[in-house]
Structure 1
Amino acid sequence: MTSLTPLGICLSPALDDLTPVPATWVETASAAGLVLAEDICLPHNLPSATEALRAGFAVAALDLVGASAGAPVPLADPVRVVPGGALPQGTDAILPEDGTDTASGLCEAIRPVSPGDGVRRTGHDGRTGDVIAPAGTKLTSRHILIAGKAGITRIATRQPRVAIAFDDPAQTAFARGWFAGLGACVVDGPADLTLRATTDHTPRLALAPAETAWLAPTGAGLLLTVPARFDGMVAACLGLALPVMARLTGAAPQTRTRPLARKLTSTVGLSELVLLSEQDGQWLPGPAGILALSDLATACAFAILPPDSEGMPAGASLSATPFDLPFG
């Protein structure tokens, strides 16, 4: 083990001076899956005017005090509204259709309503300056919905450029999809991070099963050489590329903590990748430092055991990162 470089020592030269990539402004509708470069804040109250939550007639509630079937209250110039419609000036509630009677030829209220019934007041959904999502957040469709409703048309994001040069088309497809899920822009030319299959099969990194992987600065970006086999390639992406992507985007990998369903053994001196599936609220671990396709098929999270670990007993708590959506 003494000839292998610890994972942290390999990462340090690459990460020490690495800063987030410059912000790129994109249309709000196209921003899902990207990482925010700056906070998204509400530019005004939502809703900006009091609006209806249900269909009916916009009324002033105090005008209907005492209304009943025996003592109906005529509605002068009744205004129909639909959900989402702004309330006219001077009204503060919605009287539903079943609260009216038109048998006399007039539209009359046959029951009262309270102020605010059936409406959403200005600012109920959010106030001016409220933070929708802080910088470093990976945008989801719900963020896009809120930003769109607030009238935000463009969003500042960070999109690191990643180039992938593998001979194996299956591994290329995996890497392209996984990095796109981190908010990267996969390119064919100059990149912030380039992945290339290694031509040197000599073990040099104390990360199992990625002993032939390496990460180093090169030119204007970083070069990650990955093992030829799929298991080493996946381990290199999780152990080396993910910290780089976190630094380039400003995002932080998410973690979930669960107890282990069974004992986990590991080798002192190596950082070891462990794939985890979930069973009855517990982590069901695969073998440390070994990655089989069957484990990859069922894994929902992963952890990298530190080199000083001798393993963990069943029931011990383990913090792990989601495999497919590490940034959430």
Structure 2
Amino acid sequence: MTALVPLEDCLAQALSGQGPVLSEVVPVTAARGGILAEPLVFPLDTPAQPEALRVGVAVAALDLAGASASLPIPLAHPIRVLSGDQLPPGADAVLPAVGLETLAGGLVAIQTVAPGEGVRRAGHDGRAGAPIAAAGAVMTNHVCHVATMAGLEVCHLRRPRVRVDLPDPRHQAFIEGFLTALGGKFVAEAPDLLLRPSDDAEPRLALAPGDTAWLEREGAMLVLSVPRRFDAVFAACVALAMPAMAALTGAKALTETRPLTRKIASGLGLSHLVLLTRQDDAWVPGPAGSVTLAALAAADACAILPPHSEGLPAGAMLAGIPLNFPLG
């Protein structure tokens, strides 16, 4: 039997010299799930002009100094505003209805107001040049929303071209969803990453589960051979496809470090995939090297124990990769 290749060695030979793919300009409305190639920043002060935070009359606060019920101050040209309206030039506050009275057919102020009161100042939500998201971050729903509200129309993404050719439609659909969350763009020709079924029945990779998975380079293309069992399919996605997509996008795996509620046992010589479930501020680990559909449905994160490990004791700190947002 041929000795199994450590996971780190497989990744090193496949990803050596691999740089991120070229960036492309994508409308913000179509960028959800993509990996940013350049930082996203506020193009202008947002809001660009002061806005009313409440209903009332736009005023210059210093003009109302000393105003009271016994000393009302007439408002020569009162401009009523609603919440969200831009303030007219010269106004720096919004006087609410309780501070107004009608006297001799005109509005008067019967209370003072401080400069900036009832107002969202220019740049309150974000100053021009302030960061929205860093390069390598995922364009999540809320980042897309912030970018749109800030007035951005396009962004620069790295979207590796991916092709998945698997005989099992369930595995095909699962992996396509997995790669979509990593910023992949599916193509029929010239992919950066091709996933195809593994034809090698002999174990090759020191990974549990997933010992018949393999990642290698064929010319300019990365090729991931995917096992036929679902648990090994998932292991191949986490251990091989995720690092490949990180290299192609320039992103990094996100981690959450928490203590273990119980020990994990694993054998020497193999990298073991472990599913993790959040419990308060800790991880509840599943069995090392085991993935079931029920366990995956309940899991929040996963980790790969290195081959030199013999497991971890209860209370040990473990960095888990979140399943919902693994890169960013």
TM-score, normalised by the number of residues in structure 1: 0.96
Amino acid at match of 2:304: I
Equivalent residue letter for 1:84: G
Q: How far does residue 2 in structure 1 lie from its aligned partner after superposition?
A: 6.9
C-alpha contact (below 8 Å) 1:178/1:324 kept by paired residues = no
Task: Say which is worse superposed, 137-146 or 93-102, in terms of deviation.
Answer: 137-146
SS of residue in 2 equivalent to 1:265: coil
What residue in structure 1 maps to residue 125 of structure 2?
A: 125
| Kept in 1: contact 2:92–2:116 (CA 8 A) | yes
Q: What does the per-residue CA deviation read over 1:3-58, in whole Å, with 9 as the maximum and x for residues that have no partner?
A: 10000111112111111111111111221211101112222222222222222111
Count of matched residue pairs: 328
Query: Greater CA deviation, 81-90 or 161-170?
Result: 81-90
Counterpart residue number, 1:327? 327
- Equivalent residue, structure 1, for 2:259: 259
Structure 2 CA distance for partners of 1:170 and 1:103, relative to 1, 3 Å: farther
Partner of 1:78: 78
Residues 205-256 of structure 1 deviation map (CA, whole Å, 9 limit, x = unaligned): 0011000001111133111001100000000000001001111111111100
TM-superposed deviation, 1:103: 5.9
Distance 2:134 2:149 in 1: 18
**Under a length normalisation based on structure 2, what TM-score does the superposition of the two structures give?**
0.96
Aligned to 1:303: 303
Q: 1:179·1:186 contact (CA, 8 Å) conserved in 2?
A: no
Which residue identity does 1:302 align to in structure 2? C
The 5 A counterparts of 1:13-52 are: 13-52=13-52
Matches within 5 A, 1:204-243: 204-243=204-243
The alpha carbon displacement at 1:288 in A equals: 0.5
8 Å CA contact 1:54, 1:94 repeated in 2 = yes
Please give the secondary structure, in 2, of the residue aligned with 1:264: coil
User: What fraction of aligned residue pairs are identical, expressed as a percent?
Assistant: 52
Residue pair 2:2, 2:204 contacting (<8 A) in 1 also: no
Displacement of 1:81 in angstroms is 1.6
Runs of 4+ in 1 over 4 A off after TM superposition: none
Q: Distance in 1 between matches of 2:129 and 2:136?
A: 18
Question: CA offsets, 1:240-274, max 9 Å, x none?
Answer: 01001111111111100111111100110000100
Q: Which residue does the alignment assign to 1:152?
A: 152
**Which 5+ residue runs of structure 2 have no aligned equivalent?**
none
- CA RMSD in angstroms, aligned pairs only: 1.5
Code of the aligned partner of 1:173: A
Q: Which runs of 5+ in 1 are unaligned?
A: none
Other structure's SS at 1:312 match: coil
- State the partner residue of 1:173: 173
Aligned-partner Cα distance in 1 for 2:172–2:102: 69
Deviation at 1:284, TM superposition (A): 0.8
* Deviating more after overlay: 53-62 vs 101-110: 101-110
* SS of alignment partner, residue 246 of structure 2: helix
What displacement does 1:283 show? 0.8
